[in-house]
Amino acid sequence: MPVSGVPGADEVPAPHEPARAEGDTATAPSPGGSAAEGTGEAPRARRWCRGTRLLVGATAVWTLLLGLHVLLAGNWWLWLLVEAVPPLTLVAVPLLLLAVTPLARPVRRWLAPVLVLLLLAGAHLSGFGPGWSGGGGTGTTAGGTEVKVFAWSTDYWQMDDDKQDFYAFLRGQDADVYLLQEYLYWEGDDPVRIDDTARLREEFPGYHVSVEGELLTLSRLPVVAEHHRRVPDTGTAWYHEGSKAQRTDIQVGDRTVSFYNVHMPVPFQVGDNPLSGRFYRFLRDQYAWRDRELDALRSDLAENPHPALLTGDFNSPWTGSLLDPAPGTRVHSPGSGVLPARSWPVSDYPLPKLWRLDWLFTTEDLAVPGYRFGGGGDFSDHAAQEIRLVVPDPTASGHPKETR
């Protein structure tokens, strides 16, 4: 209690408070303030937990991989191993990372938009969204001629199939044009050329039969021209040096349309040891082979005055997005189902059907009002392509009437 009437008695320090030195301006910590604030020290930054660090690291790695995939797919032989990954992986990974993002509170506000962008990019490359025509494509169907096309990778010609059932399946398609791949046998690592022409003429009377290497085209429409590559008549040159994009010019109404029957080389052989030198030599050689064949296809298309349809087994799930077989063509996709179209494997392999290896492209004003993957699983590891093509009449399309 202060003593009344004594000058300065109110200013005597309490016994429990130390006297302040003159000029000392330190203040007591504010209520609720930290010890660091009270002592004038800078607060320490909170460290991310291990889960947050892992999530940020995984997002960075995935961003790098996606960027490399866009740059290297189709441009580096070793990247063929990455090209074998199912395209839906580009959707599944960012979705998984997005699912756990809410748990990473320090970074979720900026990490979530990044993952959404990665998801949208991956979805487009995988076959979702705009840019993929669903079951139709562009062009008009008015005043045109309709052509039924059946394209199929036959999994080697009847090596393990019942011949009667095999031909019955083909006849049942009742197509105007058949574009069939793998018209050959195999003995070990060696392709064996076959000649089933007599049976084909018996089964398909009135059809024109055209064979180039392992590619077979049947047409009941008039064939205007066949464009076969000249190869040595020795050994397996018919297979290894022959064209992998057989072109047949066919008269449709008053116009000539080029039908390209495509089978690009496989990137690698399932079952080969990836630790062996043979595996990587094969990978490099197959990449170079595919590159040559794609260049030849692009060159032929650039000089072709006719509208064209390209279809077959391109042996890459990225053909419609990252691997452009021919600039200026339109890619078509079946429009049924929630997921993007898939055509392989439908048999023979203990794998889910996650890849699309079979593709369809058109040029100019050709329309595709009907397109789906049909049967074929009883005979091949590939689903068959059932295509309804409409070729507009010259007067409707603005093209002059062709003479022959």
Question: pLDDT, tens digit, for every residue of 351-368?
Answer: 999 999 999 999 999 999
Residue 248 pairs with which residues in a beta bridge?
226, 259
Neighbours of 201 (CB within 10 A): 14
Stronger pLDDT, 394 or 139, i.e. the higher one: 394
What pLDDT is attached to residue 339?
85
% of the chain exceeding 70 in pLDDT? 82
For residue 63, is pLDDT > 60?
yes
What pLDDT is attached to residue 45?
56
What pLDDT is attached to residue 307?
97
- Quick check: helix, strand or coil at residue 301? helix
- Indicate the pTM of the whole model: 0.85
Compute the CA torsion angle 318, 324, 329, 333 (nearest 10 deg).
0
Stronger pLDDT, 29 or 79, i.e. the higher one: 79
The arrangement of strands across the sheet holding 215-219 comes to: 208-212, 215-219, 177-181, 144-153, 385-392, 367-373
* Residue recorded with tokens 């080697």: 156
**Residue type (1 letter), 6:** V
Longest dimension (CA), the chain: 134
Range in 105-114, 145-154, 378-387 the model is least confident about? 105-114
**For 186-204, what is the mean pLDDT?**
94
Q: Cα(258)–Cα(261) distance, rounded to whole angstroms?
A: 10
Instruction: Output DSSP code: residue 241.
Output: T
User: Is the distance from CB of 147 to CB of 389 less than 8 angstroms?
Assistant: yes
User: Is the distance from CB of 278 to CB of 291 less than 8 angstroms?
Assistant: no
What pLDDT is attached to residue 152?
98
What pLDDT is attached to residue 355?
96
What pLDDT is attached to residue 226?
98
How do residues 265-316 score in pLDDT, each as one tens digit? 999 887 788 899 999 999 999 999 999 999 999 999 999 999 999 999 999 9
Cβ neighbours for 208, distance < 8 A, ≥ 6 positions apart: 218, 219, 220, 222, 223
Q: Nearest to residue 331, comparing CAs of 321, 345, 316?
A: 321
**For 336-346, what is the mean pLDDT?**
87
How do residues 5-57 score in pLDDT, each as one tens digit? 444 444 444 545 544 444 444 444 444 444 445 555 555 556 778 879 999 99
% of the chain exceeding 90 in pLDDT? 68
User: Is the distance from CB of 341 to CB of 144 less than 8 angstroms?
Assistant: no
| Topology, domain 134-397 | Deoxyribonuclease I; Chain A (3.60.10)
Q: Nearest to residue 376, comparing CAs of 365, 389, 385, 367?
A: 385
What pLDDT is attached to residue 396?
64
Distances (CA, A) of 115 to 57, 94, 101, 126: 12, 6, 9, 16
For residue 187, is pLDDT > 80?
yes
For residue 116, is pLDDT > 60?
yes
**Residue 346 — pLDDT band, cuts 50, 70, 90?**
very high
**For 48-74, what is the mean pLDDT?**
94
What pLDDT is attached to residue 137?
46
Q: Nearest to residue 228, comparing CAs of 241, 208, 242?
A: 242
